[in-house]
Chains A and B, each alone.
Chain A
Amino acid sequence: MTDELKNPNIPVPAELEGTVTITTLDKLYNWSRRSSIFPMIFGLACCAIEMICAASSRFDLARFGMEVFRATPRQSDLMIVSGTVTKKMVPQIVRLYNQMPEPKYVMAMGACASGGGPFKEGYNVVSGIDKFIPVDVYVPGCPPTPQALIFGLIKLQEKIDQQSIKSVPWYNSDAIEAIPIPILGPDLIDPRQGSQIAREMAVATEAEA
């Protein structure tokens, strides 16, 4: 532990060598966050099975302090979108994302969550969850093996390591806005696109006339 946290740039007087450890706040902050990521129990499809395998005894996420899968978004830091995102499911995913407290991270696990996957052409499939919520790490594969998933989690840890307590958005005074929840209408509707829909419709009627 101390090795990770020691900051080599700060000189320590020789007589104190070995008795004190000096680190930066950022390092301590990031180290404690990345070593206890609580993922949410959030299995969508086939990839979820590999996620469970990664959490079980053979690959053992506990080695990274990530074994505590929380059932509620309000206690979790990481949403592993593990599987095909369907249109019917998107409103729920966005709602769950909004319910997660900051700092929160999203990982797109598998081809489906990243970009639609083999079912991309389907009428009920969304081509990638990043169309609706921001994604931090993408793990390709169909399904990614547990080791590939863990590699992705390590990448996420690296990302966390690079953040600085001074600039992270969640300590800013401006509130972070919730993402509007998509509506299940005649097809999936993203409320953020209201004006664009109206414009398209106008163009369509014009083209007809």
Chain B
Amino acid sequence: MYGLGIIRGMGITLKHFVDTYVDDLRFLGKRYYDESSLKVRQGPKAAGAFTVQYPEEKLAMPERFRFVPFLLFEENEDGTTQDRCTSCGICSKVCPPQCIWIERTKDPVTKRPVPEPKDFHIDIDICMNCGYCAEFCPFDAIKMDHDYELSSYDRTSAHVFNKERLSKPVSYYASIRPNFFLAEEKVRAEENKKKAKQAEAKAKAKGGGKAKAAAPAPAAAAPAAVAEAPAPAAAPAASAADLDAAAKKKALAEKRKAMIAARKAKKGK
């Protein structure tokens, strides 16, 4: 019969319409704004409308969810904090759109690099949330965040995240990715043990308990072993930035000139 297909199709629309109400009965009116029913509603067994009533209820992010990276810092018992990042630069090397800028700290006396970033910038207007930085950071110092509510009215000031904006405590990481955190801590603990053992062996080889006293490193943080040097706070960075501004401008002007010249050279050929 002509039109039968259409009628059948309408039957399906009707079914979709009724499904929600039937489902409502199943949840006894607790269909919305309820953690446990949200999970069922969002699963493969769901029936009827499966709308998430965002902002009131939020779809839980899976542990691996990634959105804009953040930096981890350890909170020591005495209230000080310790960046995990050693400014080794690997994340800025693997970043596909090259949106990580890291400034390494130099020891003011010895002029040797100190394993802690002076500043750390990520331009989130470039970041493609690929997760490579977190994947390849050897110190578990940069991780992908779960916080996606980042909208702003002004990007020039708000969208280049500096170290302060990026840093979050390890405990936050542990709360968003508990399984990853536990697994990583296990590995770190083992590594630390190994290192301690090696150091001990070395010390023994050198002979005497004299060197032994220097060996024991803080148990939790691996990079801390190297980070004995005084760690300058992030504060002086600001004044330095002011000083830099003029130099930067000059460099830019030169760059621009060079570019024009290069283009000309190309043209001339």
- Whether A and B touch directly in their complex, counting CB atoms under 8 A apart, is answered as yes
By a beta-carbon cutoff of 8 Å, the part of chain A in contact with chain B is: 57-60, 63, 108, 111, 114-121, 128, 130, 135-142, 144-148, 150-152, 154-155, 159, 204, 207-208
B126 adjacent to A128 (CB under 8 Å): no
Docked CA distance A114–B125 (Å): 6
Tell whether B124 is near chain A: CB-to-CB under 8 Å: yes
Residues of B within 8 A of A117 (CB): 97, 125-126, 128
A204 adjacent to B264 (CB under 8 Å): yes
Docked CA distance A108–B155 (Å): 10
Q: From known contacts A118-B126, A147-B59, infer whether A138 and B51 are also in contact, taking CB-CB under 8 Å.
A: no
Q: How far is the CB of A187 from chain B (nearest CB, A)?
A: 11
Residues of B within 8 A of A57 (CB): 49-51
A148 adjacent to B149 (CB under 8 Å): yes
A111 adjacent to B125 (CB under 8 Å): yes
By a beta-carbon cutoff of 8 Å, the part of chain B in contact with chain A is: 49-55, 58-59, 67-68, 96-97, 123-129, 148-155, 158-159, 257, 260-261, 264
B155 adjacent to A141 (CB under 8 Å): no
Which B residue's beta carbon lies closest to that of A151?
A: B149
A148 adjacent to B126 (CB under 8 Å): no
A151 adjacent to B55 (CB under 8 Å): yes
B126 adjacent to A111 (CB under 8 Å): yes
Q: From known contacts A130-B155, A151-B149, A204-B264, infer whether A59 and B52 are also in contact, taking CB-CB under 8 Å.
A: yes
A138 adjacent to B49 (CB under 8 Å): no
B260 contact from A108, A137, A139, A207, Cβ within 8 A:
A207
Docked CA distance A128–B109 (Å): 43
Docked CA distance A109–B58 (Å): 20
Contact sample, A vs B, 16 pairs, CB 8 Å cutoff: A111-B127, A114-B125, A115-B123, A116-B126, A118-B127, A118-B128, A119-B97, A136-B153, A139-B150, A140-B152, A147-B54, A150-B54, A151-B151, A152-B151, A204-B264, A207-B261
Q: How far is the CB of A59 from chain B (nearest CB, A)?
A: 6
A58 adjacent to B125 (CB under 8 Å): no
A114 adjacent to B151 (CB under 8 Å): no
A59 adjacent to B125 (CB under 8 Å): no
B126 adjacent to A58 (CB under 8 Å): no
A138 adjacent to B261 (CB under 8 Å): no
Which B residue's beta carbon lies closest to that of A145?
A: B148
Which A residue's beta carbon lies closest to that of B97?
A: A118
A58 adjacent to B52 (CB under 8 Å): yes
Residues of A within 8 A of B50 (CB): 57-58
Q: From known contacts A58-B50, A60-B51, A151-B151, infer whether A142 and B123 are also in contact, taking CB-CB under 8 Å.
A: no
A147 contact from B58, B126, B257, Cβ within 8 A:
B58
B155 adjacent to A138 (CB under 8 Å): yes
Q: Which among B126, B127, B152, B260 has the greatest number of chain A C-beta atoms within 10 A?
A: B126
B153 adjacent to A137 (CB under 8 Å): yes
Q: Which among A142, A150, A151 has the greatest number of chain B C-beta atoms within 10 A?
A: A142
Q: From known contacts A59-B54, A130-B155, A141-B67, infer whether A116 and B148 are also in contact, taking CB-CB under 8 Å.
A: no
Residues of B within 8 A of A58 (CB): 50-52
User: In the complex, given contacts A147-B148, A151-B148, what are 15 additional A-B residue pairs having Cβ atoms less than 8 angstroms apart?
Assistant: A57-B49, A111-B126, A118-B128, A128-B155, A138-B153, A141-B68, A141-B129, A141-B150, A148-B151, A150-B55, A152-B151, A154-B55, A155-B151, A204-B260, A207-B260
Docked CA distance A72–B183 (Å): 53
A144 adjacent to B153 (CB under 8 Å): no
